[in-house]
Amino acid sequence: LVLHIGPPKTATSYIQGCLIVARENPPAGFAVANAGWYWNGHHQIPRQLSEHRIDQSTVPNSEVVRGDHLGDLRYEIETSQDRDLVVSSETFTNLNRDEVGILREAIPEDVEVRIVVGVRPLLGYYLSGWRETLKRGLVVPFPHDRVLGPVHFLTNRTHGVLPLAEMKEWMDNWVDRFGRDVTRVFAVPRTGSAPILTWHRFLEAGQLSTDEGSIRIGERVHIRNESLDAWSTEVAMYAGTQSGLNAEVWLAESWGGLSRADCGAVFENVFNRIRRSVPEDVLAHDPNLLIDESQIATLVQALEPDVQRLRDYCSQFQFIGELDDLIDRIPAQTPEKLEDYRARTAEYPPEVYARWLVELVKRQALETVASIP
């Protein structure tokens, strides 16, 4: 039994990565086939299997099981004798010490544990006594684990960019705290769905590299300014281990799941349309580019061709959670409504897409619209 533990989007991405890579050339030691999917009522797993046209029956000895608390999970661990178990739980990273103890007791010593997690919960695991478990497991990063996690956790920020100088200080502090578990720092561009495959190729090769070469702890960490543009000025951090003992941290540009090459035309069209829909005085003087709620319906209709193009593009994602991440990035005026959409349906209605597009413009219009002919 290999137990994979992680929040829903990360765990389901791990499942997808296993299945996608398995159909080609799975890296050595990459658990793929005998997978059982345990989920806590979250709709992501069956939805994503369907969206990616992956027939669960083609995966040997696999099934989807559902539970809502640790007792169900413990039962699955005890009865899963010949298949991997992927635990997708939104609450896992928030377990208290008693619950962590219960879960640890439920995992036999001979079970290989692979914790699929990002930087922020990784630190949480260390601090809550999971260090030994991490050492005998494997931490796998995924590009959609956004920088807002570790930045908020480490610097108490609620939004914004982690400056490179602060990033270097953060890395030094990590090394001081955890010794040489963190061995290398890399700057790599993030484009499309490439990282899920290149990451595992990097693991096979035992290294990560960039056009500028590998960057080690202690050396100056930098990313060329021209590599960032108006679409994103965020830098994302991911942590993982190659052997369960040696951790690596790499940096990547966060494009919000949409590369400019693929979606530039869509956004240019959207910016132009919204610019024509917003009064000049609002555009010129309101830093928040406030758009009245009554305009949403008009925008939905006006943006329908672009919304459809965006939807078509999103349907090609090889990652799980990309669209969720886009929606999560919205400083929405009605977060409850968006949360309700996420909970109730697998299909995001046009209003949600339009809301995201509108809010994106509200955040960046003043510095972006002026540059569009």
pLDDT digits (tens, 9 = 90+) for 345-358: 334 444 444 455 44
Phi (first) and psi of residue 301, to 5 degrees = -70, -45
User: Does 265 lie in the same domain as 251?
Assistant: no
Q: Which residues of the chain have pLDDT under 70?
A: 1-74, 76-373
pLDDT given for residue 107 in this prediction? 63
Query: What letter does residue 140 receive in the DSSP assignment?
Result: B
- State the SS3 of 299-332: HHHHCHHHHHHHHHHHCCCCCCCHHHHHHHCCCC
pLDDT given for residue 229 in this prediction? 25
CA distances from 340 to 12, 42, 262, 296, 337 (A): 21, 13, 29, 18, 5
pLDDT given for residue 57 in this prediction? 54
In a domain, 132, yes or no: no
Query: What letter does residue 147 receive in the DSSP assignment?
Result: T
User: Does 302 lie in the same domain as 367?
Assistant: yes
Asked if residue 239 lies in contact with residue 247, where contact means CB atoms within 8 angstroms, the answer is yes
Give the end of a domain, one of 255, 276, 304: 255
pLDDT given for residue 232 in this prediction? 22
Give the end of a domain, one of 70, 97, 116: 116
Domain range holding 75?
A: 1-116
Can you say whether residue 7 is alpha, beta or left, with left for phi > 0 and alpha for psi between -120 and 50 degrees? beta
Give the end of a domain, one of 239, 255, 271: 255
pLDDT given for residue 324 in this prediction? 44
In a domain, 137, yes or no: no
Asked if residue 121 lies in contact with residue 93, where contact means CB atoms within 8 angstroms, the answer is yes
Structural domain count of the chain: 3
User: Does 112 lie in the same domain as 6?
Assistant: yes
pLDDT given for residue 327 in this prediction? 41
Query: What letter does residue 225 receive in the DSSP assignment?
Result: G
Q: Which pair of structure tokens corresponds to residue 344?
A: 């109730």
Q: Which residues of 7-30 are buried (b: 16+ CB within 10 A; e: fewer)?
A: bbbbbbbbbbbbbbbbeeebbeeb
pLDDT given for residue 296 in this prediction? 44
Three-state DSSP class for 141?
coil
Q: Which pair of structure tokens corresponds to residue 28?
A: 């050595």
User: Does 150 lie in the same domain as 104?
Assistant: no
In a domain, 127, yes or no: no
Length of the chain: 373
Q: Which of 63, 90, 93, 58 is nearest to 79 (CA)?
A: 63
pLDDT given for residue 343 in this prediction? 45
pLDDT given for residue 334 in this prediction? 43
